[in-house]
Amino acid sequence: SSMASSVSSLLSTWRCSSRSMWMKRLLPLSIRSASSQSSSLVQEVGEDKFRPAYAEKAEENVEIATVVYMGAQKCYVSLEREVKEGIYRPRLSFVSTKLLKSERLIVGDSVRVRCDKEYTRDMPGTVVQVASRRNVFQRVDSDGKPKLLASNLDQVIVCSSFGNPPFSSFVVDSVLSAACLSSIPAVVVLNKVDLCEHSKFDDIKSTYERSGFRIIGTSAKERLGINELHKLLSGKTSVLYGLSGAGKSSLLNALADLDISTRPVSQALRSGRHTTSSSVLYRLDAQTCVVDTPGVRSFRPMAGKNRLVEGFPDILAKAERCAAGRRCSHIHESVEDCFVMQSVADGSLPQSRYTSYAHLYFEQTS
Choose between 312 and 88: higher pLDDT: 312
Distance from the Cα of residue 115 to its chain's centroid: 33
Q: Which residues contact 98 (CB under 8 A, 6 or more apart)?
A: 54, 56, 128
Closest CA to 300 of 143, 137, 140: 140
Least confident of 7-16, 69-78, 140-149, 210-219: 7-16
Q: What pLDDT score does 183 carry?
A: 96
Q: What pLDDT score does 8 carry?
A: 60
Q: Is the peptide bond before 165 cis (omega within 30 degrees of 0)?
A: yes
Mean pLDDT for the stretch of residues 212-236: 93
Decide if pLDDT at 52 tops 50. Answer: no
Kindly report the average pLDDT of the chain as a whole number.
80
Mean pLDDT for the stretch of residues 79-103: 87
Closest CA to 190 of 156, 217, 155: 217
pLDDT, tens digit, for every residue of 267-302? Answer: 565 543 333 567 899 988 889 999 988 877 778 898
Beta bridge partners of 243: 296
pLDDT, tens digit, for every residue of 213-222? Answer: 999 999 988 8
Binned at pLDDT 50, 70 and 90, residue 19 comes out as very low
Number of H helices, E strands in the chain: 12, 13
Mean pLDDT for the stretch of residues 62-81: 90
Decide if pLDDT at 165 tops 70. Answer: yes
Pairwise CA distance, residues 255 & 236, whole Å: 15
pTM for this model (two decimals): 0.80
